[in-house]
Structure 1
Amino acid sequence: MLEKELKRAGNVDVQLLGSSAEGVFGDEGPKLTGFAAFKDSFRRQEPSALDIDPNLSDAEKIAIMTANSPLSRSLKSRHLQMISIGGTIGTGLFVGSGSALRTGGPGGVLIAWLIVGGMIYAMIQAVGELAVTFPVSGAYCTYSIRFIDESWGFAVAWNYLFGYFNGLALELIAASITIKYWNSEINTVGFIAIFYVLIVSINFFGVRGYGEAEFVFSLIKVMTIIGFIILGIVLICGGGPIGGYIGAKYWYHPGAFANGFKGVCSVFVTAGFSFGLTEMAGLAAAETANPRQAIPKAIKQVFWRIVLFYIISLTLIGCLIPYTDKHLFASSSVDASASPFVIAIVNGGIKGLPSVMNVVIIVAVLSVGNTCVFASSRVLAALSAAGLAPKIFLYIDKRGRPIAGIILQSIVGLLCFLAASPKQGEVFTWLMAIGGISGFVNWGSICLGHIRFRYALKKKGRDTSELAYVSQCGVWGSYYGLLICVLILAAQFWIALFPLGKKPNASGFFAAYLAMPVILGFYVAHKIWSKNWKLYIRWEDMDIDTGRRDLDLDLLKQELASEKAALAAKPWYYRVYRFWC
């Protein structure tokens, strides 16, 4: 099957050495037990030798290498679905929404999250279509390399990788600040060490360890938000200990918007930060046993996460807290006391629950840090396979762990101990600056990659009938997603240059917009290094076959037609359920 796949990519000479259950890797030898098995699991998983035609383009060679990564394929459907529902809910929602409310008011928050949420839904649908069709190592980073331009893919991937690298330290520093909610004088270094060891240990258990941990973390977050929504409705209706109907009075006084149009523009990045890592379902595709079945279900859950966990909860927050509330003006952007969820409970006169909510915030922080380790090691392995990172990071052991990438992330993650510095708030700000707007650049690149893929498919005389999953938003959804990302990047440039309520200054500009110069620097450096001066990959040169697990397209079309016919015979309510779930 692998030989057929590689030849489909374009006259590739393939020499397969050895075989295994997957038909890709060599024989692992006799089974070991006990410590010997544990020790042996860290040995390198040797892939079969691939004698690739040197006349192929760089994009085609990259496609072949990333399509044949020896990563484990043991992530289950329930893991992927729970990761999509609540896996990336973290400080952006629980804490960052407080500063957004203060800056934009309840109307600004709702507008920003609705617009960004719509873009996210269109983007994740594009990810779903590409990831089901090409469940390859590196996922969305690889798609930019294959369908847009190698230099652009390199720049976006490395900048996003820096965001992941910072993510572990960033989230652990956030955890240390959250712990100070109970005692501002406490030394948090010991807690950070415990959290650090926990996250690194989880990732050394492999993708199954990550999946099980995220399943539990996400379940806790989802149950908490559902509980808060119920509590919020009760408090708004006057059913709390303090009593008194609240309704929408804070929308009238002090008002719906805190700083007008500029205030709304200032909220977009916070909204984007809260949706960070939503595309993880696509990155995990290469390690999913059955991406054709698991990914569409997981992708559809994102709609409910946007509506239930973001829009509804933030609408309730806007009704429960005026944007002038003194608690929103905490000294740190990640101060747990500035969490609107905590403030709403405190203002409602409920005792005990604020501490419970802060425990959940810590769980959310650990969850996102855990995801950063998982994501960075996989993206680094994909870049290494593509020849865009040192080959050592292509080291994947017999349990399918990109062990070199996990070790590097663990070393960089030691920056978390900067939390012991009295300048921890400043450290947090600059670590955030590196990742800042990179999410919008990556999401826009995903949408553009989907547009380019569909264009190549059409020009080659083929259509969506050969795709196991088709984006519910179609290619126009990706156009919308790309447009929104461009507009938000422009708005953020304006805000970075002329900050709200402050005079223009270089420090503030780079704290808000540092990611863009970094991306452009990587892009130009790769152009010079590779001497590849073309602006984009022509449709004639795009490889739209390598990496497919369903290589027999005629058989796939028959199966899809049979599945559609079976679904059409079901009652209308079942068809509606399947569309959204």
Structure 2
Amino acid sequence: MDEETRNVDQQSTEVKRGLKTRHVSMIALGGCIGTGLFVASGSAISEAGPGGALVAYGLMGIMVYFLMTSLGEMATNMPISGSFAAYAGKYVDPALGFAMGWNYWFNWAITVPVDISTVALVMKFWLPNTPSWIWSTIALVLIVLINAMSVSTFGEAEFWMSAIKVVTVIIFLAVGVLTIFGIMGGHFVGMRNFTYQKAPFVGGIPAIISVFVVAGFSFQGTELVGITAGESEDPEKSVPQAIKDVFWRIVLFYIFAIFVIAALIPYTSHSLLGSSATDVAISPFTLVFQRAGLAAAASVMNAVILTAVISSANSGMYASTRMLYSMANGGFAPKALSKTGKNGIPYRALIVTTLVASITFISSIAGPHIYMWLVAASGLTGFIAWFGIAISHFRFRRAFIKQGHSLSELKYHAKWFPFGPVLCLILCVLVIVGQDPSAFAHFDWQQILVTYMSVPLVIILYLGYKIRHHTKIIPLDEVDVSPTRTEGKLTEDK
């Protein structure tokens, strides 16, 4: 090991491991429960019908499970912050690690101001005459403070915000079932809405594919377990447990929740057609609670949605900060950003991310067109990250076996390989291509650019690094599959 590698390893241990198993499990679960479930699930039902929505969310849930097992196998072997960039650079090509890292950091740095802007819109439900920037500023200061204190503070805050969302879904399911059977709401509903008009399947396979996109955005955030592994007190235990828990909870929460919504609200309802991420009055959850006779439903759901949005911004700040820190350690970002404070927080990476988020937020007020392009550029980033995770795991496992290792050496190994990563690759490509097929049909080049902008950006990052540093796809017999609890080097030793 040369001197530079030792310095990287020493610096990487400065990030303290303060996330408990319960934190990791709840963060992974809470990451995929947000406005995608509370509000956007209604638009999925209206577009594909109850049966089409259940099929789309079911298939996407299966894909996410395999994605999590792929990430889990790598994260227990090499638990680090900013895992996606490190794995892509270590198992595939340093240029891919560079592109993946900056792509993911950019996504969250842009998404944080989107979330804090949404906080202001949600607050207008109670205080419509208050200037929006006040609530957005308060939200930004709050999440920066949470992220600046300690990793355990972040973990505890996320645990309780995620717990609020989980309890809400459980109550919703209980109330929904009672309403279906007429115990609440006054009359028996049963399954009549599942066969109403063209239901259960509306629009056929094209509609199901279009709902894949909605479902994919709903599930984004589950990959946070790979980021948290680097600061987990016991990643060999917490990561597999989080994966196991998340799969069953996704099935329970998403599939059952959509079943309840579809049973109680016909897919032709204008409320579902008008689903908006910030209009709590037409959230399917609000409608079901009101149907059951709960008068304060809208106000309660607004509070839950507010919690979900703040939780998303909080997780986004954490993920982007750790990704930037990891890239600095691996040579993909300025070395100065790898510095940490006494509490183990990479404060310089946090400051840079906060500045970018603040500038983006200001641009949303001063120049809405610039803001629109920034948001569009980050639109497909989550799916690109999933694609990178799948291909990294495919390469890792093949290299691991080719070099004579046994699966028994792994602390956790994904079952059904290579079916899992191959399925993830296929569905990710399908979702990315299926974002807006009508734009291609009408040759609307401006809409195509807005929708697919993140794809050429990643390609430019990849090729730019590859050309400048003359990197190559690492041969399987040269891939470093050794287990480690440090960041390691992501580029070739000189």
TM-score (normalised: structure 1): 0.78
| 2:117 pairs with 1:155 | no
Amino acid at match of 1:373: M
Q: Corresponding residue for 1:471?
A: 414
Separation in structure 1 between the aligned mates of residue 181 and residue 483 of structure 2, nearest angstrom: 57
Amino acid at match of 1:205: M
Deviations 1:478-510 (A, max 9, x none): 222222222322333635524xxxx55233323
Matched ranges for 1:121-132 at <5 A: 121-132=65-76
Asked if the contact 1:126/1:471 (under 8 Å) is kept, the reply is: yes
3-state SS, counterpart of residue 435 of structure 2: helix
Q: Corresponding residue for 2:29?
A: 85
Range that drifts further, 441-450 or 247-256: 247-256
Q: CA RMSD in A?
A: 2.5
Deviation at 1:270, TM superposition (A): 1.5
Asked if the contact 1:96/1:270 (under 8 Å) is kept, the reply is: yes
Matched ranges for 1:325-364 at <5 A: 325-330=269-274, 332-364=276-308
Separation in structure 2 between the aligned mates of residue 431 and residue 240 of structure 1, nearest angstrom: 46
Q: Corresponding residue for 1:529?
A: 468
Separation in structure 2 between the aligned mates of residue 254 and residue 234 of structure 1, nearest angstrom: 26
Separation in structure 1 between the aligned mates of residue 457 and residue 443 of structure 2, nearest angstrom: 21
Q: Corresponding residue for 2:451?
A: 512
Asked if the contact 1:217/1:364 (under 8 Å) is kept, the reply is: yes
Bigger radius of gyration:
1
Which of 150, 161, 169 is matched with 1:225 structurally?
169
Matched ranges for 1:359-374 at <5 A: 359-374=303-318
Asked if the contact 1:176/1:419 (under 8 Å) is kept, the reply is: no
Deviations 1:1-36 (A, max 9, x none): xxxxxxxxxxx245xxxxxxxxxxxxxxxxxxxxxx
Separation in structure 2 between the aligned mates of residue 334 and residue 297 of structure 1, nearest angstrom: 33
Which of 456, 480, 484 is matched with 1:543 structurally?
480
| 2:131 pairs with 1:181 | no
Separation in structure 2 between the aligned mates of residue 428 and residue 338 of structure 1, nearest angstrom: 26
| 2:104 pairs with 1:169 | no
Deviation at 1:107, TM superposition (A): 2.3
Q: Corresponding residue for 2:212?
A: 268
Deviation at 1:201, TM superposition (A): 0.8
Report the number of matched residues: 485
Matched ranges for 1:478-497 at <5 A: 478-492=421-435, 494-497=437-440
Asked if the contact 2:12/2:329 (under 8 Å) is kept, the reply is: no
Deviation at 1:328, TM superposition (A): 3.0
Does the C-alpha gap of structure 1 residues 473 and 211 become closer, same or farther in structure 2, counting only changes over 3 Å?
Answer: farther
Does the C-alpha gap of structure 1 residues 175 and 354 become closer, same or farther in structure 2, counting only changes over 3 Å?
Answer: same
Amino acid at match of 1:130: M
Does the C-alpha gap of structure 1 residues 332 and 220 become closer, same or farther in structure 2, counting only changes over 3 Å?
Answer: closer
Does the C-alpha gap of structure 1 residues 51 and 446 become closer, same or farther in structure 2, counting only changes over 3 Å?
Answer: closer
* Structure 2 unmatched ranges of 5 or more: 487-494
Which of 207, 213, 227 is matched with 1:283 structurally?
227
| 2:390 pairs with 1:451 | no
3-state SS, counterpart of residue 316 of structure 1: helix
Separation in structure 2 between the aligned mates of residue 390 and residue 227 of structure 1, nearest angstrom: 48
Separation in structure 2 between the aligned mates of residue 310 and residue 495 of structure 1, nearest angstrom: 28
Separation in structure 1 between the aligned mates of residue 150 and residue 328 of structure 2, nearest angstrom: 19
Amino acid at match of 2:165: K
3-state SS, counterpart of residue 543 of structure 1: coil
Asked if the contact 2:28/2:221 (under 8 Å) is kept, the reply is: no
Deviation at 1:332, TM superposition (A): 4.9
Separation in structure 1 between the aligned mates of residue 287 and residue 378 of structure 2, nearest angstrom: 28
Asked if the contact 1:129/1:467 (under 8 Å) is kept, the reply is: yes
Does the C-alpha gap of structure 1 residues 481 and 240 become closer, same or farther in structure 2, counting only changes over 3 Å?
Answer: same
Separation in structure 1 between the aligned mates of residue 429 and residue 11 of structure 2, nearest angstrom: 30
Amino acid at match of 1:213: A
Range that drifts further, 173-182 or 229-238: 173-182
Amino acid at match of 1:406: L
3-state SS, counterpart of residue 253 of structure 1: coil
Does the C-alpha gap of structure 1 residues 224 and 431 become closer, same or farther in structure 2, counting only changes over 3 Å?
Answer: farther
Does the C-alpha gap of structure 1 residues 320 and 435 become closer, same or farther in structure 2, counting only changes over 3 Å?
Answer: farther
User: Which 4+ stretches in 1 moved above 6 angstroms?
Assistant: none
Amino acid at match of 1:449: S
Asked if the contact 1:138/1:378 (under 8 Å) is kept, the reply is: yes
Deviations 1:358-405 (A, max 9, x none): 100110111110000100011001111111112221111121101011
Separation in structure 2 between the aligned mates of residue 113 and residue 66 of structure 1, nearest angstrom: 43
| 2:142 pairs with 1:205 | no
Asked if the contact 1:106/1:257 (under 8 Å) is kept, the reply is: yes
Does the C-alpha gap of structure 1 residues 207 and 334 become closer, same or farther in structure 2, counting only changes over 3 Å?
Answer: same
Deviation at 1:252, TM superposition (A): 2.3
Does the C-alpha gap of structure 1 residues 143 and 547 become closer, same or farther in structure 2, counting only changes over 3 Å?
Answer: same
Deviations 1:84-134 (A, max 9, x none): 232442122212223323333222221221111111000101111111111
* Structure 1 unmatched ranges of 5 or more: 1-11, 15-48, 53-63, 550-581
Does the C-alpha gap of structure 1 residues 429 and 356 become closer, same or farther in structure 2, counting only changes over 3 Å?
Answer: farther
Range that drifts further, 315-324 or 70-79: 315-324
Amino acid at match of 1:390: P
Separation in structure 2 between the aligned mates of residue 528 and residue 265 of structure 1, nearest angstrom: 36
3-state SS, counterpart of residue 492 of structure 1: coil
Which of 250, 263, 268 is matched with 1:324 structurally?
268
Q: Corresponding residue for 2:377?
A: 434
Q: Corresponding residue for 1:45?
A: none
Separation in structure 2 between the aligned mates of residue 135 and residue 99 of structure 1, nearest angstrom: 38
Per residue, is there more helix in 1 or in 2? 2
| 2:129 pairs with 1:192 | no
| Higher RCO (Cα < 8 Å, 6 or more apart) | 2
Asked if the contact 1:178/1:334 (under 8 Å) is kept, the reply is: yes
Separation in structure 2 between the aligned mates of residue 67 and residue 283 of structure 1, nearest angstrom: 17
Deviations 1:19-75 (A, max 9, x none): xxxxxxxxxxxxxxxxxxxxxxxxxxxxxx7568xxxxxxxxxxx659944211111
Does the C-alpha gap of structure 1 residues 71 and 51 become closer, same or farther in structure 2, counting only changes over 3 Å?
Answer: closer
Asked if the contact 2:70/2:389 (under 8 Å) is kept, the reply is: yes
Does the C-alpha gap of structure 1 residues 159 and 334 become closer, same or farther in structure 2, counting only changes over 3 Å?
Answer: farther
Separation in structure 1 between the aligned mates of residue 119 and residue 132 of structure 2, nearest angstrom: 9
TM-score (normalised: structure 2): 0.91
Which of 388, 392, 404 is matched with 1:461 structurally?
404
Separation in structure 2 between the aligned mates of residue 480 and residue 528 of structure 1, nearest angstrom: 31
